Chains A and B, each alone.
Chain A
Amino acid sequence: MTFWSLFKRNRSAVLGLVILLAIVFMAATAQLFFPEDPFRLIGKPMSSPGENGFLLGSDSLGRDVASGIAHGAKTSLLIGLMATVVAVGFGTIMGGLAGYYGGRIDDLLMRVTEMFQTIPSFIFAILLVAIMKPSIESIVIAIAVVSWPAVARLVRGEFLSLKTREFVQACHTVGMSDIRIILGEILPNCLSPIIVIGSLMVATAILIESGLAFLGLGDPNIMSWGFQIGAGRTLLRSAWWVCTFPGIAILVTVLAINLVGEGLNDALNPRLRERT
């Protein structure tokens, strides 16, 4: 069966994909529907949804919450994606090398991985952002730094089991170089769990970003959902819409990504495939 027909069988995963595509579309067209800078004060402060031409209301300075959500989608998705790419990339290298070479290299790399896992991760992310100063780059790096060990462990496990398989042994006998074996033979065979863990990581990264913003560690110059929530949280009791809508945006996105991730898991995981 093709991947798509497998994926399609999981209806909630398809729903997740549709929602996700809608969010991506929203991020891509934000500039079209809301040409103004989302930070622009364009109307009466604290207008409730529907009032004064604000679809989702305005915040304490008179900024359009809807515009913020549309523009913020780009930032939040970007932070999630970039952090994941960095974490998955680095984690795969570390885990791959450890798993493939084993022995001392494995020991060393796994000790390093353990070290990162031993530090309380959210505090560590806060620490990194505080040191590098709050900006979109530092947030991405911080999230990646606390996320990669999980990838490394996973990839190492896959490599450990794959490298003993016949087709890898065969490559060794024909004198293929290590790098070709790793990139050309083993890696493609453990892509599916990497894709699954990566998809879930995007969701977690978005949540971490909102947590950092809640603590005042967001980038002050870029609109993101985390920023909106951080800025709106003191208004929660008097203008619920300011932080509730971005909160819902995060919820829906995280939900969608998770559903897609589960769908990927079902479609890519051979053992589940046989059974259902």
Chain B
Amino acid sequence: MKITKWISGALTAVTMVAAATAARAEGGTLVMLVQPEPPSLASYLSTSGPIGLMAPKIYEGLLDYDKDLQAVPSLAKSYKVSADGKTVTFNLQKGVKWHDGEPFTSADVQFTVMEVLSKIHPRGPNSFREVESIDTPDEHTAIFNLKNPAPYMLRALSGYESPMAPKHLLEGEDYRSAPLGNKPVGTGPFKFVEWKKGQYIRLDKNEDYWKEGLPKLDRIVGRFIPDASTRTAAMENGEVHYGAYGAIPNIDAVRLREMDSIGVTTDGYGMINPMALIEFDTTEPPFDDPKVRKAVSMALDRQFLIDNIWFGYGQPATSALSSNFGATGLHDAEAANYPSGPNVDEAKKLLKEAGAEDISITLDLIPYGEDWRRAGEYMKQALGDIGIKADLRYEDVPTWLKRIYADYDFDMNVNYFYQLPDPVLGVHRHYGTDQIRQGTHFVNSSRYSNPDLDALLVKGAQEPDAEKRAAIYSDVQKILGDDKPVANLFEMNFLTVYDSSLKDHDTSALGAYGSFSEAYFDK
């Protein structure tokens, strides 16, 4: 089958016209919540959340994605995939300049992908694992030569996931400590101006932005406010206009959404796809027995967690894959051998069969906020009902990371993973035998290893045909539903809370991780 896809330049033209007509509402300063303060703005080597909020306003990717997750042009005007799927040619925009005035060329693309992203980016080595080389026949053409077809790669080219970095500022430097990390220079709609540690990051409008008439805002300021209640108050008071990724706790969002001046949306997380889950240590009793893992999964009332801790935002998990993969046909609702509601009797029966009655375990909780503690407290009670005595453990981030991913010193661990826009990018890392990588964070810490599943995962990654691919992942979901090395809890809905006069901040599938080039205040 021949997969060829050209994106017409017309789309850009449309945007330009729209920009011109909306010019009346231009200007103003957008203050957004950034929490916690990022370690740097080097999005080419870290996918840290707060970096993701600021950096995509400065750096751009080859592509962007619209609300339906379809690719639209960004630094690449268009792209073309060869018949065998092994060559992808990107046609780059002309006249794009870095914020320091240097021209952006195909050499930057080659350097960024080959030297930076596929080497030191946390997910880059996976996204670009099939890329053998990149040819640059001229300044505006970059040809990716692949070992195998990699359809998922084309979903990982946004300014957040794979930002293009300036070769002239990184080459020859230690990428990790280059001054660029704290003083970013990109091609995006906003230029870095100042970073006042402990207070804010200031970005000003890029007057020479290559998209005519954009950006509309004069300035974006990212503010750091450590306390959640204070963030909410600042939002209510109009001191900040935008908070995403849980910056405003759900309980407050539920209250704020009643106000006319504030909007709340769950849009803009389609490419993130967060899933709350429990990881089990499958190598030792009691959780080496799938029956015990299933019993735990069955004992929990997922809807209770969603309603009382996340205040209604979320859907109970129905399989190892998020139902958001339904859009690409990968989520198999039929395979869903997931419990629909809690079933204490059934769970007890399973435990009895496994000979695991009256056991004591420790339940570790991800140290990313109070909600997870509440979830742990609920689970402790629910597990008590089926005869599992759970002790809660809540440690700080470094201690927890080391325990779960380096020392493997845990029984069960509450966590959440981003499933990302494709299972290859976000789900495989959880289950593959090759993903048992001691010392690497957020991979297969359950140490589940199943050769049948491994074979399916390899096939799934390379299969270009949508229907065949769906069949493969249906099998994957069956195996994982039966074995449950990880018990998915619920599909999380992150919230974006914003000043309702702020418009067009959500034009991209990336939501808060988008460029905000079209955002404006309609006052």
Residues of A in contact with B (beta carbons under 8 Å apart): 39-41, 45, 60-62, 130, 133-134, 216, 220-221, 230-231, 233-238
Contact = CB atoms under 8 A, between A and B. Distances in A.
Contacts of B377: 39, 61, 220
A233 to B, nearest CB: 6
Nearest to A230: B370
A231 to B, nearest CB: 7
Contacts of A134: 394-395
B495 to A, nearest CB: 14
Nearest to B252: A237
B396 interface: yes
B394 A39 contact: no
A221 B308 contact: no
B391 interface: yes
B251 A130 contact: no
B229 interface: yes
Contact of B374 (A40, A60, A238): A60
A133 to B, nearest CB: 6
A220 B393 contact: yes
B396 A231 contact: no
A222 to B, nearest CB: 10
B370 A41 contact: no
A205 B99 CA distance: 54
A210 to B, nearest CB: 15
Contact of A221 (B229, B232, B309, B392): B392
Q: Dominant SS at the A interface?
A: loop
Nearest to A235: B251
Nearest to B305: A61
Given A39-B381, A221-B391, A236-B229, A61 B374 contact: yes
Interface string B361-373: 0000101001001
Q: Dominant SS at the B interface?
A: helix
Contact of A220 (B254, B376, B378, B381): B376
A245 B16 CA distance: 57
B456 interface: no
Interface size for chain B: under 10, 10 to 19, 20 to 34, or 35 or more residues?
A: 20 to 34
Interface in B464-504: none
A223 B44 CA distance: 44
Given A39-B381, A221-B391, A234-B251, 4 more contacts: A61-B374, A130-B399, A216-B373, A234-B229
Contacts of A231: 370, 373-374
Nearest to B228: A234
Contacts of A62: 308
Contacts of B393: 133, 220
* A-B pairs with lowest CB-CB distance, top 6: A220-B392, A220-B394, A45-B308, A234-B249, A221-B392, A130-B396
10 contacts: A39-B380, A60-B251, A61-B378, A133-B399, A216-B373, A220-B365, A220-B394, A221-B391, A234-B252, A237-B229
B197 interface: no
Nearest to B371: A234
A40 B370 contact: no
B196 interface: no
B2 interface: no
B247 to A, nearest CB: 13
A220 B373 contact: yes
A40 B391 CA distance: 14
B255 interface: yes
Contacts of A61: 308-309, 374, 377-378
